[in-house]
Every structure is written in C-alpha cells, then in structure tokens.
Amino acid sequence: MCVNYITVSRQMAFDWFRTPIDVNDDWREEIYRDHKAPFIIHDDQGQRKGMVGTYAFVPQDHRPFKKLTEEEQAKYARALEKAKAQGKEPPSPPRIPMETMNARFEEVTGKVNYKRFWLQQQLCIVPALNVFEPNYESGKHERWAIELASGEPFGLPGMWRTWEDKDGTVKNTFNHFTLNANEHPLLKRFHLDKEKRGVAILRPEDYDDWLSSTNPEFARALVQLYPAELMRARPAPKHAKDGELAQSTSKQASPQGQAELF
C-alpha cells in the first residue's frame, strides 16, 4: 500500500484543483510518513480550501509508548545519559510504530482510529502527481511510479482530523484510502502479498460531492480504483539526496516521457 508519493505545489493546487493554499507552511515534493503535505477540504461555505497537515492519521508524538525490553531500556538510558552530558534535549521514549498513512477502506468502520471520523464524514482530497509502489516482476524489488496516463495530478480520497499537543498547538493530520486490487490490470502487478492493494482515486467530477458528503453510504460509492486504461506505471528508482526528488518534476504534468504502459 502506498506510503510514499509526490505532492503538488501551491500553483498546481490552484491550477488543477481550483484550491488556494493560504497557510504559510512549506512542504517537500516527495512525501513520506509524518511529512507535512497539502490536502483539500470544504470550508463552511462549501468552497474548496487548501490545508497543510501531517501524512499519518495518528502522528508520531501521539502514538502509544512502546513497552521496552531490558536491552531497549538500557539503550534508552544510555541515550539519556549522552544527551545530558552533551547538554542536549533528552530523546523521547520509543513509541509503537503505526502505519496510518493509508487505510483499508473496507475496514474503516471497524478501526478505532478511523470510525468516528468516517461516520462524521470528515473527508479530504490528497492531491498527488504519482504514488510509489514496489514491483517484483524482474525478480527483485524495484520502486515504480504509478500515475495517470495523461500525466495530470489526481486526487486521493481520504480523511483528516486535528490533534492538540501538550503546549496547546493544534495540528492537522490526514490519510487516504486503499482498496483490493486483485483484479485491477495494472495495480495487481505490485507488492508480494497475496492480496494486492491499490490507492483509490477520485474522478474530478466527484471532488465536490466527496468533500460535501454527510452520508457515509453516498461517499462510499465514490471510493473506487481508477480505470487501468487511464493509468500508467514506470520504474522510478530513488537516487536523489534526502528531501530531493528522484526524478525531474518538469515533466510530471505532461503525458510525455519514459512510460511503460500496462
């Protein structure tokens, strides 16, 4: 399931999604867990509004603390001593790793972290240029980019929420949905798991219906895999330095370029 994608710039959000992003936050182009990235909601007047939040429904500093083994306790104690000796801020205790960047849509009402926000229809759109998935058809792991055949940005259906930190700071978090892709001609080519998963992609004509929905059953019908004939996939090895793109972004909104169609 996708946990890494290329997001859009402010200008692309405005040009392609008709959405201004007025907040001052900056974000990287390539997004991983706990990175800041833009997402889109409806404001109180039913107009599209750009937000910036953390890519993980449960952010790192709100995940439960991990129960440490004796070895881990000793390692953490040494880290505390080292920080104290160097006059640095002590490290936080290890927390339980949680993968809440995407959610299995079929199970959204059965997960305590998601159920309330789905029933309240706290929905968002996550704008993306492509998503990355592992491909093993060559016999080894290769990172591939999945995108629209047109090269245009697209919107992932998701949910968002707010968290309040100890200092009173309020921050946003978001995720997006995945579906079973065992029968999808393109998406079934990724991952080694017996059950193939793929990101749901909204049709542009459904954007506002999705964002304005107050009915879970109505919204459920909008969450679908995109037609394979309108998508493409290509190898996208990661070879850039941290925080930089592994490929040029100058061609991302163009259908041209090196592309392997399914």
Residue 179: inside a domain:
yes
Residue 29 belongs to domain with CATH number: 3.90.1680.10
Residues 113, 149, single domain; the answer is yes
* Cα angle 42, 106, 224; round to 5: 60
Compute the Cα dihedral for 226, 230, 235, 236 and give only its sign.
negative
Can you tell me the distance from the alpha carbon of 108 to that of 116, in angstroms, rounded to the nearest whole number? 9
| pLDDT, block means (10 residues), the chain with 262 residues | 90 97 94 97 97 93 81 88 89 80 95 96 98 94 96 98 89 97 96 91 98 98 98 87 38 34 33
Distances in whole angstroms, Cα of residue 146 to Cα of each of 87, 140, 175, 232, 241: 46, 18, 18, 6, 21
pLDDT for the residue numbered 1: 58
Residues 57, 157, single domain; the answer is yes
Residues 69, 147, single domain; the answer is no
Residue 256: inside a domain:
no
Residues 33, 112, single domain; the answer is yes
Q: Looking at the 3D structure of the chain, how many domains does it have?
A: 2
Q: How far is CA 124 from the centre of its chain?
A: 11
Secondary structure element (H or E) that encloses residue 85, with its range = helix 70-85
pLDDT for the residue numbered 239: 65
pTM listed for this prediction: 0.84
Residues 29, 153, single domain; the answer is yes
Cβ atoms of 132 and 1 within 8 Å: the answer is no
Residues 143, 184, single domain; the answer is yes
Residue 241: inside a domain:
no
Residue 254: inside a domain:
no
Can you tell me the distance from the alpha carbon of 15 to that of 98, in angstroms, rounded to the nearest whole number? 34
**Domain range enclosing 70:** 64-97
